[in-house]
Structure 1
């Protein structure tokens, strides 16, 4: 079995006005991603996803060009089952043979950003192919699954203080969730405004629903510490991305300043960055995004790091179907996983891009049973929303 074709598209799906929301990213009017198709010479097709922009917004022209014209040609003729070998080849670039002989990484200078986003898309697609070639779901190939359903949390929460309770309760009504996440930070301005929204949310939800908050890295260290002080009695499950990912020492200071667990990692790429988070004691919960951190292969390594440091693993899954399903398999196999992110904002890149129905029932999400990642792309829908030229 050899790789025959590699094709990526910038897929942009409009979000109807009634379902758009405003955050620190502005008004989200489209859902964008780089979607990758890899086909083997015996007709197997694997699907991957790469991300290089915040949330579901931004431009994907550069990443798609890289996949089609730089990365893709390097893959033609290779055995798609050599997943980790291909990962290291793409990461180390022209020095990959030297790195393999020496037994340590010699990465290309552009070793983050677009490089790892492209590797992520390839890696997810290769795992999809491997599962299909062996007629097994990916979770079985990466260690098995610890349950056929796993707990999920509803991810959303942009409403102002007088509406946030109703918004979060509507999530619970939709999927039976017992955990919800809301956004705070720059979208509110001052920390005390976010704190007021959190207090309103907790009052509406009561004491038994888990409540997480996500600042998208928009606070300074001082503001994040002030926010923690203001909401220390609200029993928050975690405080996500309190400060920018580039300030790991500052994140460690925030973590040490109060009783709320810190979650981080959606802006981090590769095991090396998560090693630093662990060593600096900057996070309690690792949140790698499979479409950005390096794919399933690298997310497994990151999950192992979490386990080794007695931390927890909850990947960032505000994403399209290939990334989301990759996260389901990773959570099924990782001993450090405990919850799955399920976006309650408009997400046509999951719900409309594939033939299957993705839903939460009683706050749980089923782990796929089908071979590979376990979904069927609607190629007609993909073609209708692929950007050309």
Structure 2
């Protein structure tokens, strides 16, 4: 691999309106913010990344400014590989993380830059990203429909099933009776063979979580995601795992060495890092490989724009295993202006792009009216 020498790092902050609010336990999405990252090297080649910024909406412009500020540290320097760049940049920012307390935003900015650098390198190599990462030949990966609201979710899910989806995730955490009712309705509407999961976004205490897993046991869910706070005592997580016949899932709110315990332990059976929240490709490739080697399911978390879903897809294709790709089914120009018609769902699967890099790039003209921040000239 030739040395990487960046000439520029840019960020593009957008906020796209939505027709209907999207509800989760910690808040409501009334628009869809996202941050794109573009890097160019000294040869004029470019690559695209995305930094996590999906909630709250006001965070998008902050992340974009961080990307530009952090990116200035890379211009004019030489790196042996994307991993080398990621490691050196992360190390150089450790004091800044302590100084600001902004563990998440800084990690998200670094992740966006890392993704863009990998896209650039794969494009220059003339290979799709997953083939640069692995010798595996993969034509498609399984997906699950996500972001299903608590308001008559069976109707939304049934419509997605008619479009070709075979797996579904309901947002829970809105009260025991509402959540159980919704899952029962989804099982009845979708049939016994549909894959159904749920995500409570850390809302339960231990006793509530135990009551919930007992109530949903007959529904045969594939997993129960983030039932409790990520930082809840390990003993609580171990107790819940013993009580639950539904596999437990999590990982979107972990970073680096925090994955060691969940991958090696018995509590989580589904590991779900978010490529734009921490690690980019450089960090998450190792997490995915270790997850599969441990006999668990690597199911990358996703709820963002088009670059994010493509990166997650390529990582899943490279890592393999029995994981599914999280697939947002709500209208979102931030995804559509990148992916277009590249990912049609057929019998629960989408094709893996075979063009160099991520396989697509943003339509900046279509996104132009929704841009909310640009760096000073």
- TM-score under structure 2 normalisation? 0.91
Task: Provide the rounded CA distance (Å) in 2 between the counterparts of 1:302 and 1:248.
Answer: 23
Matched, 1:37 2:25: no
| RMSD between aligned residues | 2.2
* Structure 2: gaps spanning 5 or more residues: none
Q: Which whole-Å deviations, capped at 9, do the CAs of 1:156-198 have from their partners, x for residues lacking one?
A: 32144xx332221111012x1221111111xx22x13211211
Shift in CA distance, 229/265, structure 1 to aligned 2, threshold 3 Å? same
- The residue that corresponds to 1:5 in the other structure is 8
- Is the alpha carbon distance of 1:15 and 1:52 closer, same or farther for their aligned partners in structure 2, counting shifts above 3 Å? closer
User: Hey, what does 1:15 align to over in structure 2?
Assistant: 18
**Would you say the 8 A contact 2:302–2:327 is kept in 1?**
yes
CA contact (8 A) 1:83 1:127 kept: yes
Residue pair 2:147, 2:330 contacting (<8 A) in 1 also: yes
Counterpart CA distance in 2 for 1:219 and 1:67 is 34
CA distance in 2, matches of 1:366, 1:248: 40
Q: 1:90 to 1:63 in 2, by over 3 A?
A: same
> Which moved further from structure 2: 195-204 or 272-281?
272-281
CA gap of 1:111–1:165, structure 2 versus 1, over 3 A, is: closer
The answer to whether the 8 A contact 2:337-2:367 is kept is: no
Deviation at 1:146, TM superposition (A): 4.5
* Pair 1:267 & 2:253 matched: yes
DSSP 3-state at the match of 1:346: coil
- Whole-angstrom CA distance in 2 between matches of 1:199 and 1:32: 32
Q: Give every structure 1 segment of 4 or more consecutive aligned residues whose post-TM-superposition deviation is greater than 6 Å.
A: none
Q: Which residue of 2 aligns with 1:60?
A: 60
Structure showing the higher strand proportion among its residues: 2
Q: How does 1:162-173 map to 2 (within 5 A)?
A: 163-173=152-162
TM-superposed CA distance for 1:312, in Å, is 1.2
Provide the secondary structure at the position in 1 that maps to 2:303.
coil
Cα deviations across residues 319-364 of structure 1 (Å, max 9, x unaligned)?
Answer: 2111111111111111335211111123221113455543212211
Q: Is the 8 A contact 1:3 1:76 kept in 2?
A: yes
- Indicate if the aligned counterparts of 2:274 and 2:300 stay in contact, CA closer than 8 A: yes
Q: Which residue of 2 aligns with 1:209?
A: 194
* In structure 1, distance between residues paired with 2:130 and 2:342: 19
Match in the other structure for 2:146? 155
Q: Deviations over 1:114-151 (max 9, x none)?
A: 22111100110011000111111111111133520111
Matches of 1:28 and 1:107 in 2, distance apart?
30
Answering whether residue 300 of structure 2 is matched by residue 315 of structure 1, we say yes
1:207-253 CA-partner distances (Å, limit 9, x unpaired): 11111111111111221111001111111111011112222613333
Deviates more, 1:116-125 or 1:329-338: 329-338
Distance 1:345 1:291, change over 3 A: same
Residue correspondences, number: 368
Q: Distance in 1 between matches of 2:340 and 2:349?
A: 20
- The separation in 2 between residues aligned to 1:265 and 1:339, in whole angstroms, is 14
Q: Counterpart of 2:85?
A: 86
The corresponding residue for 1:119 is 110
Structure 1 residues 299 and 310: alpha-carbon distance in aligned structure 2, compared to 1, 3 A threshold: same
- Match of 2:122, SS state, is helix
Q: 2:291 aligns with which of 306, 310, 314?
A: 306
Q: CA deviation at 1:381?
A: 2.6
With the length of structure 1 as denominator, give the TM-score of the two structures: 0.88
- 8 Å CA contact 1:15, 1:348 repeated in 2: no
Partner of 1:103: none
CA distance change for structure 1 residues 92 and 38 in 2, over 3 Å: closer, same or farther?
A: same
Q: Distance in 2 between matches of 1:52 and 1:156?
A: 16
- Where in structure 2 are the equivalents of 1:284-299 lying within 5 Å? 284-299=269-284
Deviations 1:80-137 (A, max 9, x none): 6621111111211178xxxxxxxxxx99645831221111001100110001111111
